[in-house]
Amino acid sequence: MTETTEIQRSSSPLHAILSLIIPGAGQVFAGQIVRGISILAATLILGFLSIWTSAQRARFPDMGVSARIFVIVLLQCLALLALLLIVRYLILRSMQDDASADAASRGILGVGYIAIILIASRPIMDLAGHTPGMLEIYETTLLLAAASLAGLWLWQSNDAALLGAGNPAGSWTPAILVGTLLILSLGWSITGIDISKAISEFSDTQVILRRIVWPWRTAFEYDIDTVESQARIQAPCPPGAIGPEVNEPLVGEAWISVTPTCGDMTVSDNTGTTLGTELTITGGGFEPGQVVEVLWKNPIGNPFTPRGVGETEITISPDGTFVSSLNIPLALVADTAEGAQLHTLVIRQESNEVFTGRLSDQMNLALVGILESIMIGLMATFFGIILAFPVSFLAARNLMMPIMSKTGGVVGGFVGLVPGIWAAIIGTQYVISLFGGLEQAPIIIAIIMVILFLGLGGLGWRLGAWIISQLIEALPVSIGRGVIGFSFAALAATPGYLLGLGFSRGILSIPLSVEVAAVNEQTYAIIGAVILGVAGAAFGYFSGNEGEVSIGALVYAVTRTILNIVRSIEPIIWALVAVIWVGLGPFAGTIALTLHTIAALGKLYSESIESIDPGPIEALQATGANRLQTIVYAVVPQILPPFISFTIYRWDINVRMSTIIGAVGGGGIGFILIQWIRLFQYDAVGLGVWLIAVTVALLDFVSSNIRARYV
Partner 1 sequence: MLEIKNLTMVYPTGTVALKDVSFKVEDGEFLGVIGLSGSGKSTLLRCINRLIEPTEGQIIWNGVDVTEADQSELRNIRREIGMVFQHFNLVKRSNVITNVLSGRLGYTPPAWSLINRFNRADREKAIQVLERLGIPEKAHNRADSLSGGQQQRVGIARALMQDPKMILADEPVASLDPVLAHSILGSLETLNQEDGITVMCSLHFLDLVQRYSTKVIGLRDGHLVFEGSKEDVQKIDDERFKDIYGEEAERLGA
Task: For partner 1, give the closer residue by CB, 455 or 616.
Answer: 616
Task: For partner 1, give the closer residue by CB, 436 or 615.
Answer: 615
Binding of partner 1 by 551 (CB under 8 A): no
Task: For partner 1, give the closer residue by CB, 193 or 640.
Answer: 640
One of 277, 312, 638, 703 touching partner 1 (CB under 8 A) = 638
DSSP string computed for 443-484: HHHHHHHHHHHHHHHHHHHHHHHHHHHHHHHHS-HHHHHHHH
Burial 381-405 (b: 16+ CB within 10 A, else e): bbbbbebbbebbbbbbbebbeeeeb
Choices 171-179, 452-460, 635-643, 677-685; region in contact with partner 1 by CB under 8 A: 635-643
Task: For partner 1, give the closer residue by CB, 160 or 617.
Answer: 617
> Please, what is the minimum distance in Å from the beta carbon of residue 642 to partner 1?
11
Is the four-CA dihedral 359, 361, 363, 367 of positive or negative sign?
A: positive
Task: For partner 1, give the closer residue by CB, 620 or 648.
Answer: 620
Task: For partner 1, give the closer residue by CB, 451 or 565.
Answer: 451
> Please, what is the minimum distance in Å from the beta carbon of residue 482 to partner 1?
26
Please report, as a single letter, which amino acid is at residue 50.
S
One of 198, 224, 622, 708 touching partner 1 (CB under 8 A) = 622
> Please, what is the minimum distance in Å from the beta carbon of residue 610 to partner 1?
17
Distance (Å, whole) CA 104 – CA 404: 68
One of 269, 515, 623, 709 touching partner 1 (CB under 8 A) = 623
Task: Please give the angle made by the CA atoms of 561, 566 and 572, to the nearest 5 degrees.
Answer: 160
C-alpha distance from residue 329 to each of 232, 235, 272, 305, 490 (Å): 14, 10, 14, 9, 98
C-alpha distance from residue 70 to each of 153, 177, 202, 661, 691 (Å): 14, 21, 34, 44, 51
Distance (Å, whole) CA 617 – CA 635: 7
Contact 525, 553 (CB under 8 A): no
> Please, what is the minimum distance in Å from the beta carbon of residue 547 to partner 1?
14
One of 634, 657, 673, 692 touching partner 1 (CB under 8 A) = 634
> Please, what is the minimum distance in Å from the beta carbon of residue 634 to partner 1?
6
Binding of partner 1 by 547 (CB under 8 A): no
> Please, what is the minimum distance in Å from the beta carbon of residue 467 to partner 1?
17
Name the 3-class secondary structure at 257.
strand
C-alpha distance from residue 247 to each of 277, 433, 440, 664 (Å): 18, 86, 76, 63
Choices 65-73, 393-401, 520-528, 626-634; region in contact with partner 1 by CB under 8 A: 626-634
One of 108, 128, 625, 706 touching partner 1 (CB under 8 A) = 625
Other beta carbons within 10 Å of 219? 19
Distance (Å, whole) CA 366 – CA 687: 7
Contact 417, 464 (CB under 8 A): yes
Number of residues that bind partner 1 (CB under 8 A): 21
Instruction: Find the binding residues for partner 1 in span 320-339 (CB under 8 A).
Output: none
> Please, what is the minimum distance in Å from the beta carbon of residue 103 to partner 1?
52
Helix (H) or strand (E) holding 259: strand 255-259
Task: For partner 1, give the closer residue by CB, 621 or 703.
Answer: 621
Determine the distance from the C-alpha atom of residue 27 to the mean position of all C-alpha atoms in its chain, rounded to a whole number: 44
Choices 114-122, 436-444, 526-534, 630-638; region in contact with partner 1 by CB under 8 A: 630-638
Contact 254, 279 (CB under 8 A): no
> Please, what is the minimum distance in Å from the beta carbon of residue 604 to partner 1?
19
One of 100, 203, 271, 626 touching partner 1 (CB under 8 A) = 626
Task: For partner 1, give the closer residue by CB, 133 or 615.
Answer: 615
Contact 656, 593 (CB under 8 A): no
Choices 219-227, 261-269, 331-339, 634-642; region in contact with partner 1 by CB under 8 A: 634-642
> Please, what is the minimum distance in Å from the beta carbon of residue 630 to partner 1?
8
Encoded one letter per residue, x for contact with partner 1 by CB under 8 A and - for no contact, window 582-621 reads -------------------------------x-xx-xxxx
One of 45, 640, 697, 702 touching partner 1 (CB under 8 A) = 640
Binding of partner 1 by 711 (CB under 8 A): no
Choices 313-321, 569-577, 633-641, 651-659; region in contact with partner 1 by CB under 8 A: 633-641
Helix (H) or strand (E) holding 650: helix 636-661
List, in sequence order, every residue forming a beta bridge with 315; answer none if it has no partner.
Answer: 291
Name the 3-class secondary structure at 234.
strand
Name the 3-class secondary structure at 689.
helix
Binding of partner 1 by 709 (CB under 8 A): no
Task: For partner 1, give the closer residue by CB, 98 or 618.
Answer: 618
Name the 3-class secondary structure at 666.
coil
Binding of partner 1 by 168 (CB under 8 A): no
Task: For partner 1, give the closer residue by CB, 365 or 639.
Answer: 639
Helix (H) or strand (E) holding 702: helix 682-710
Instruction: Find the binding residues for partner 1 in span 457-496 (CB under 8 A).
Output: none
> Please, what is the minimum distance in Å from the beta carbon of residue 360 to partner 1?
52
User: In terms of Cα–Cα distance, which of 170, 152, 194, 155 is closest to 42?
Assistant: 152
Binding of partner 1 by 357 (CB under 8 A): no
Task: For partner 1, give the closer residue by CB, 512 or 625.
Answer: 625
One of 6, 628, 708, 709 touching partner 1 (CB under 8 A) = 628
Binding of partner 1 by 698 (CB under 8 A): no
Long-range contacts of 556-559 (CB under 8 A, 24+ apart): 556/394, 556/395, 556/396, 556/397, 556/400, 556/401, 559/391, 559/394, 559/395, 559/602
User: In terms of Cα–Cα distance, which of 244, 235, 241 is closest to 267?
Assistant: 235
> Please, what is the minimum distance in Å from the beta carbon of residue 614 to partner 1?
9
User: In terms of Cα–Cα distance, which of 194, 188, 196 is closest to 148?
Assistant: 188
Choices 269-277, 334-342, 372-380, 629-637; region in contact with partner 1 by CB under 8 A: 629-637
Distance (Å, whole) CA 176 – CA 187: 16
Task: For partner 1, give the closer residue by CB, 321 or 638.
Answer: 638
Choices 338-346, 422-430, 622-630, 680-688; region in contact with partner 1 by CB under 8 A: 622-630
One of 34, 632, 698, 702 touching partner 1 (CB under 8 A) = 632
Task: For partner 1, give the closer residue by CB, 275 or 625.
Answer: 625
Please report, as a single letter, which amino acid is at residue 696.
V
Binding of partner 1 by 624 (CB under 8 A): yes
Judged by the rule CB under 8 A, the positions of this chain that interact with partner 1 are: 613, 615-616, 618-626, 628-629, 632-634, 637-638, 640-641
